[in-house]
Amino acid sequence: MVPTSYYILLSAALFTIGVLGVLVRRNAIVLFMSVELMLNAANLALVAFARERLGVDGQVLVFFVITVAAAEVAVGLALLVAIFRTKQTADVDEVSTLKG
Amino acid sequence: MASLDLLIWLIPALPLLGFLLNAFLIRSERPAGLVASAMVVASFVVTLVATFGLAGLPAEERRIMSVAWQWISIGSFQVPFGIMLDPLTAVMALLVTGVGGLIHIYSIGYMHGDQRVVRYFAYLNLFITMMLLLVMGNNLLVLFLGWEGVGLCSFLLIGHWFERRVAGEAAVKAFVVNRIGDAAFILGMLAVFNYFGTLNFYPVEAGGVSQPGFLERSIEIMGQTVGPSWQPVGVATLITFLLLIGATGKSAQLPLFVWLPDAMAGPTPVSALIHAATMVTAGVYMMARNEAIFQASLTTQGWVMWIGALTALIAGTAALAQWDIKRVLAYSTVSQLGFMVAACGMGAYVAAIFHLLTHGLFKALLFLAAGSVIHGTNDTQDMRRMGGLRTAMPTTFWSFAIGAAALAGIVPLAGFWSKDEILTHALTGNHWPQLFILFLTSLLTALYMGRQVALIFFGQQRDPSYHAHESGRVMTVPLIVLAVGAVVGGIINLPWLHWLSDWLFPVLGEEASSFNLFMAALATAGSVGMGYLGWWIYDRAAPRVKVGGKDPAYRVTGDIWDGMEEAWYLDAAYSRVVVQPFRRLAGFLARVFDPQGIDGLVMGVARLFGWIGAGVRRLQSGYVRTYALVFTVGVLLVLGFILVATR
């Protein structure tokens, strides 16, 4: 059986990739993908810990996360479409109208 | 008599109704004057009826109290809103409504064609209401309500022609100077409440509870003192001295009389009503009403006497040197009020009230006659531009002459009897310095009235630019009525009849005064002589009086005359000592402290926040990724802290 620590390491790696993706990429769609990556890294960690502890709490929580992620994507993509319609671009650095 | 309880409410209610009608409904001149006059005359009739009702009661029961409601009820601070009618109030109310009614009628003629005549009559009615509240109030606070009310009406009416800068300034001056006295009056009231626990003059039944009165308990404060142990002040002295300062403000005594001569900027009937016959006598009335406490303090009585006597002399000398027809009368009013106050100080309250009543008649007469002169000479007030008006306005001349003779104290006119009573009291009380001053003042009075009559009515008209004419019937009839009053007014307290003394005995408890033939003869001889002298000098010197020129007496007296004309520069002294420093302080506050201190603080706070904001807004770059970076770093720091802290 694969040790839990492997799963955790993979999850951490995926999460870090997601964070870096959010921080360095400018394309809004890639940003979204990075956010999804972080969510799924968390899911992976949750499932791994659930198996370790022989409980279903973590597994249940993952379903919630997936649901929330779906909702978030729906809202986020709608925003993205709206931004694209007004700015003709998906570059988030262009969306800085509210700067002080 | 239960019906009298309700009847006396009509006395102030009728003028109040007139005020409300004039203020809110009436828009044209004729009904305004008629309604206002009718209300005051009706009030006079009611007062007369109530006074007869009062006279029908046994002497010791002559005090009708009526409480409308409990005005203020805070713990032990109980003030009923009530009025009363007793002999003292009755004579005051008769004077106010009687003379007031005549002046209202006169005003119909005098103010004809004025652009704000409805407002004028409304204020005049309000004044009568307030004056009646003042004399009828059954406690100090109602008295004070009237006291402030008449002050307000005085302000409004002096400033009736507010387009004239002088009138506006005079109104403000009257108001501000009175405020000094009023502040002392409030302190006096507080002291009364502190030591007696009530403001009622006499015991009152209100709401089924009987409340005590303080006048009958003045014995309680005898011997009590307040203040530091090295300089104790008698409680009676404290209270009465504060009330005295209040009286010097309202009754135009030293050191606060300066507002009254300036108040002549108002319409002449207002001067007659407010600044001669009624309002300025409020201080004398107040002292007579609180006679029980005043008598408890010899110290204050000394002050009262001296203030009265000195005011009489100073104002008398000032009256001698005035050119303005109304300012002569104004200073003369101050002088005569000094007589009354001095009489109060001697404990001769009956004499003071007697002089108050006769003075109300003949001074109103003099002012109205002066108004008739002003009216008939196309608004001329400078006596240098008059002269020889005797033939053009005979009724005015005769009534003015009667008033002048009454004021000068020529036997047997009203002023003689009342002034003589005051002088006799000074004699019998051995107040020699005051007697001397007052006697001198009565000689001066005759002198300046002789001068004024000669300057206005004798000789030739010095300024031919106007055509003098007699005033209409609506103005001359009140003059004639008042002239009759000035002739026979003395009858109310002739030394052999002393009706007024007997009438006021239940209130003031003062025996009728004796009659000193020597004093009376001396005073009469002096008055006649000085009056004739004044007339003779100015009748002969008339050709030398030039428009805008100096008085003929200036050649003899020199700079002293200037001093008299300026009332011994008291105004200038106040200007130098109080007004100028105050202006400078206000100027400093307005030009330096406000822009730099207050504004500096306010603007400084605003600028500080602006500055902080300018620094902080750079953080809001608008780049989502920057925010995310900050957020991530923050999360890492928190996580790191948790790791380190939970180790």
- The reply to whether A10 falls in a domain is yes
Nearest Cα residue to B5 out of B53, B48, B38: B53
The pLDDT of residue B1 is: 47
What is the pLDDT, as a whole number, of residue A2?
A: 86
Share of chain B above pLDDT 70, in %: 99
Identify whether the C-beta of residue B14 lies closer than 8 Å to the C-beta of residue B31.
no
Instruction: For B439-516, list the strands marked E by DSSP.
Output: none
Bridge partners (DSSP) of residue B78 are B73
Distance, in Å, from the CA atom of B181 to the CA atom of B260, rounded to the nearest integer, reads 14
Contact check, Cβ <8 Å, A92/B621:
no
| Closest Cα in chain B, distance from residue A76 (Å) | 14
Option in A22, A97, A99 nearest B628 (CB): A22
B523: number of CA atoms within 13 Å, CB side? 32
A56 touches chain B (CB under 8 A): no
Asked if pLDDT for residue B464 goes beyond 50, the answer is yes
Question: Is pLDDT above 70 for B206?
Answer: no
Is A92 within 8 Å of chain B by CB? yes
Residues of A in contact with B623 (CB under 8 A): 92-93, 96, 99
Give the tens place of pLDDT for each residue, A46-87.
Answer: 999 999 889 899 999 999 999 999 999 999 999 889 988 988
Residue of B nearest to A25 (CA): B625
Q: What is the mean pLDDT of residues B205-210?
A: 72
Residue B207, C-beta contacts closer than 8 angstroms, at least 6 positions apart: B67, B70, B80
> Poorest-confidence range of B33-47, B213-227, B401-415, B560-574?
B213-227
A52 within a domain of the structure (yes/no): yes
For the stretch B358-399, pLDDT in tens is: 999 999 999 999 999 998 888 888 888 888 888 889 999 999
How many CB atoms neighbour CB B378 within 10 A? Answer: 12
Distance in angstroms (rounded) separating the CA atoms of residues B280 and B270:
12
Contact of B269 with B110, CB cutoff 8 Å: yes
Query: CA of B631: which chain A residue's CA is closest?
Result: A23
Residue B559 has pLDDT above 80, yes or no: yes
Question: How many residues does this entry show for chain A?
Answer: 100
Provide mean pLDDT across the span B480-496. 88
Question: Looking at beta carbons, which residues of chain A come within 8 Å of B634?
Answer: none
The answer to the question of residue A98 being in a domain is no
pLDDT value, residue B595: 87
pLDDT of residue B307: 94
Q: Is residue A94 part of a domain?
A: no
- The Cα–Cα gap between B38 and B21 comes to 12
Task: Report the 10 Å Cβ neighbour count for B210.
Answer: 10
Half-sphere exposure of B127 (CA within 13 A, CB side): 35
Burial of B46 per CB tally in 10 Å (0-12, 13-18, 19+):
buried
Residue A96 within any structural domain of the chain: no
- Residue B71 burial by Cβ neighbours in a 10 Å radius (0-12, 13-18, 19+): middle
> How many distinct structural domains can be found in chain A?
1
Q: Do B621 and A98 touch (CB under 8 A)?
A: no
Average pLDDT over residues B300-317: 93
Tell me the average pLDDT across B543-551.
81
| Helices assigned H by DSSP within B321-413 | 325-345, 349-376, 394-408
d(CA B422, CA B405): 18
Would you call the peptide bond into B261 cis, given omega within 30 degrees of 0 as the criterion? no
Q: Which of A19, A24, A95 sits opposite B624 (nearest CB)?
A: A95
The answer, yes or no, to whether residue B628 has pLDDT greater than 60, is: yes
Considering the domain boundaries, does residue A37 fall inside one?
A: yes
Indicate yes or no: CB of B628 within 8 angstroms of CB of A23.
yes
Domain that holds residue A22: 4-89
Give the gap in angstroms from C-alpha A94 to the nearest C-alpha of chain B: 8
CA B493, distance to chain mean position in Å, is: 25
Q: Is B215:B290 a contact under the CB 8 Å cutoff?
A: yes
Complex ipTM value: 0.84
Summarised one tens digit per residue, pLDDT across range B436-446 is 999 999 999 99
What are the chain B neighbours of A24 within 8 Å (beta carbons)?
A: 625
**A22 interfaces chain B, CB cutoff of 8 Å:** yes
How far apart CA B189 and CA B242 sit, in angstroms, is 9
First to last CA, chain B: 99
Contact A95 B628 (CB under 8 A): no
Q: Distance (Å) from the C-alpha of residue A97 to the closest C-alpha of chain B?
A: 7
- Give the CA angle between residues B74, B77, B83 to the nearest 5°: 110
Q: How many CB pairs under 8 A join A and B?
A: 35
- The residues, any chain, with a CB within 8 Å of residue B308's CB and separated by 6 or more, are B253, B337, B338, B339, B340, B341, B342, B343, B344, B345, B434
Domain ranges of chain B: 1-296, 297-348+356-557, 571-645
Residues 6+ apart with CB under 8 A from B281: B92, B251, B337, B340, B356, B359, B360
Q: Does residue B461 register a pLDDT over 50?
A: yes
pLDDT in tens, B247-286: 999 999 988 999 999 999 889 999 999 888 889 999 999 9
- H/E run at residue B70: strand B64-74
User: A96 and B621 in contact by Cβ < 8 A?
Assistant: yes
User: Contact, B443 vs B402, CB < 8 A?
Assistant: no
What is the CATH number for A37?
1.10.287.3510
Angle at the Cα of B94 from the Cα atoms of B144 and B132, rounded to 5 degrees? 20
- Neighboring chain B residues of A96 at a CB cutoff of 8 Å: 621-624
Q: Are B213 and B162 in contact (CB under 8 A)?
A: no
Kind and range of the H or E run holding B235: helix B235-250
Measured in angstroms, the CA of B608 and the nearest CA of chain A are apart by 18
A13-30 pLDDT per residue, tens: 999 999 999 989 888 889
Rounded to a whole number of angstroms, the distance from the CA of B629 to the nearest CA of chain A is 6
Please give the model's pTM, rounded to 2 decimal places. Answer: 0.81
